Amino acid sequence: MGIQIEYLSLAELKSQPLAWQNKVLGLVSFVDAAGVYEAQKINGQIPGIFLGASVLSGAESASEILLSDESSMDTKQPLISGEQGQIRYRCNGDLLFGVISLDEASELIITSPGNPFSALQQATEIAYQQIFTLLDDLGFPNVYRFWNYMANINGSDGDDQQNLERYRQFNIGRKNVFVKMGREHGQQLPAACALGLKGGPLTIAFLAGKAPAIAIENPRQVKAYNYPEQYGPRTPSFSRATLVHIEQKACLFISGTASIVGHETLHAEDITGQTQETLVNLEAVVSEANRVQGGAVFDLSNACFRVYVRHAADLDSIRETMRNHFSHQVQAVFVQADICREELLIEIEATLQQTSIAHAA
């Protein structure tokens, strides 16, 4: 079975008929305080994360929905919903989408004074170990995409020996499990993002499948897993994008992308410069994916973007810079969130699809 991706408002999501809901693998949605209550009316069989964050613009695209596309199949195969540990998931014969939320005050976390490992590192290790155990148990060996959200990403708790920034604590936990579970394949790491919200548990969504994937890197950037030690004792475990063929479609899952060249942040305190550099990096990733694919398969100008904005006051500048870059209004949702480096003001992610592999040059 293939995959179809749609972007809807929360109201549109709630109003979809049951036949449509029965095709949903999972979703990632941003909602305000009132939206959290409304989200409870969504079909409970659908694994989804509803993240409390201010949607600054583009509320009509605030929910990214991944659906099982049965158009190429002679017979329809129903989705199977399940739970394992703290994970809720849905899968068909080819794809699995799952979500897990783990509070750092959970009884699973050891908070004794002598424990050198922070609550966030422990929560990360527990969550990722559960994820990879599930995928091994159900036979979905390839992860295409992770979405990671946590509170106070640039802060430090003061409860571990090194008083590390929380994003670095997260990276330690994630890397430890990748290595332990035999997932640290270097050249074949999945796409990912990691963003900071005002509060809430560590929340992770993931998409995995049986078809192999190709990790895509940005020629303008050092691979994240090769970052120097100045960015923390454990490097981030992700690639810049993942290219995968699912049935008759090529899909490109682009990681959260920011104003980084080599491994250094550029245009500090300059939102226009950071936005422009981020768009250049996105174009570089798409160009590399098209090179690997062997033709102009993906076109960034047709993408729906999720734009994470540190300061709401920067919204107008970001939107104008994006309009100038693409020469037209783009589809995007702008969400207020903190980025993994304190000096970064913006991060953009996207998912691109090709209509048919047969159209590739």
Q: How many domains does the chain have?
A: 1
pLDDT score for 71? 61
C-alpha dist (Å) from residue 178 to 43, 184, 276, 320? 32, 5, 33, 40
User: First CA to last CA across the chain, in angstroms?
Assistant: 24
Q: Is residue 95 part of a domain?
A: yes
What pLDDT was estimated at residue 199? 92
Is the Cβ–Cβ distance between 293 and 287 less than 8 Å? no
Please say whether the beta carbons of 346 and 273 come within 8 A: no
Number of neighbours of residue 181 by Cβ within 10 angstroms:
15
- Chain position carrying tokens 């590399």: 288
CATH number at residue 271: 3.30.1330.40
For the chain, list residues with pLDDT below 50.
Answer: 72-75, 357-361
The residue assigned the tokens 């509060």 is: 199
123 domain residue, yes or no: yes
Question: What pLDDT score does 255 carry?
Answer: 98
- Residue 64's DSSP bridge partners are 7, 28
Residue 360 falls within a domain, yes or no? no
Exactly one of 277, 288, 347, 349 is catalytic; name it: 347
Residue carrying structure tokens 């424990």: 115
Neighbours of 97 (CB within 10 A): 29
SS3 per residue for the chain: CEEEEEEECHHHHHHCCHHHHCCEEEEEEEECHHHHHHHCCCCCCCCEEEEECCEEECHHHCEEEEEEECCCCCCCCCCEEEEECCEEEEECCCEEEEEEEECCCCCCCCCCCCCCCCHHHHHHHHHHHHHHHHHHHHCCCEEEEEEEEEECCCCECCCCCCCCEHHHHHHHHHHHHHHHCCCCCCCCCCEEEEEEECCCCEEEEEEEECCCEEEECCCCECCHHHCCHHHCCCCCCCECEEEEEECCEEEEEEEEECCEEECEECCCCCHHHHHHHHHHHHHHHHHHHHHHHCCCCCCHHHCEEEEEECCHHHHHHHHHHHHHHHCCCCEEEEEECECCCCCCCEEEEEEEECCCHHHCC
How many whole angstroms separate alpha carbon 49 and alpha carbon 42?
11
298 with 232: CB under 8 angstroms?
no
> pLDDT by residue (tens digit) across 318-346?
999 999 999 888 899 999 999 999 999 99
**Whose structure tokens read 């920011």?**
258
Burial of 19 (0-12, 13-18, 19+ CB in 10 A): exposed
Rounded-to-10 torsion of CA 204, 207, 208, 209: 170
pLDDT at residue 38, as a whole number:
65
Distance CA 57, CA 164 (A): 33
* Residue showing tokens 């305190």: 269
Cα(135)–Cα(132) distance, rounded to whole angstroms? 5
Q: Is 347 a catalytic residue?
A: yes
Is position 6 within any domain? yes
The pLDDT tens digits for 110-163 are: 877 667 789 999 999 999 999 999 999 999 999 999 999 999 999 997 655 568
> What is the domain range of residue 48?
2-354
In-domain check, residue 129:
yes
The answer to whether residue 361 sits within a structural domain is no
